Structure 1
Amino acid sequence: MAKQSTQTLTLLNQLAADEVEAAMQALAQAMQQLEQAQQQQVMLAQYQQEYEQQWQQVVQNGLKADLYRNFQGFFSQLELAVRTQNAQIEQCQAIVQQQRLRLQEKQRKQKSYEVLITRAQTSQAKAENKRDQKMMDEFASRARRARW
Structure 2
Amino acid sequence: MAKQSTQTLTLLIQLASDAVDEAMQALAQAMQQLEQAQQQRTMLEQYQQEYEQQWQNASQKGLKADLYRNFQGFFSQLELAVRSQNAQIEQCQANVVHKRQLLQEKQRKQKSFEVLMTRAETQQAKVEGKRDQKLMDEFASRAKRARV
Q: TM-score by structure 1 length?
A: 0.98
Structure 2: how far apart are the matches of 1:55 and 1:70? 10
SS at structure 2 position matched to 1:63: coil
Q: CA deviation at 1:80?
A: 0.4
Structure 2: how far apart are the matches of 1:147 and 1:35? 82
Letter in 1 for 2:54: Q
Q: CA deviation at 1:147?
A: 1.5
Aligned to 1:136: 136
RMSD, matched Cα: 0.6
Structure 1 runs of 4+ aligned residues shifted over 3 Å read: none
Letter in 2 for 1:123: Q
Structure 2: how far apart are the matches of 1:77 and 1:41? 14
Letter in 2 for 1:143: A
Aligned to 2:41: 41
Aligned to 1:87: 87
Structure 2: how far apart are the matches of 1:48 and 1:108? 46
Structure 2: how far apart are the matches of 1:91 and 1:103? 18
Structure 2: how far apart are the matches of 1:81 and 1:125? 65
Can you list the C-alpha shifts for 1:4-27, whole angstroms capped at 9, x where unaligned?
Answer: 101100100000000000000000
Structure 1 stretches of 5 or more lacking a match?
Answer: none
Task: Give aligned-pair identity as a percent.
Answer: 81
Structure 2 stretches of 5 or more lacking a match?
Answer: none
Q: CA deviation at 1:58?
A: 1.0
Structure 2: how far apart are the matches of 1:76 and 1:48? 10
Aligned to 2:16: 16
Can you list the C-alpha shifts for 1:10-51, whole angstroms capped at 9, x where unaligned?
Answer: 100000000000000000000000000000011000000000
Number of equivalent positions: 148
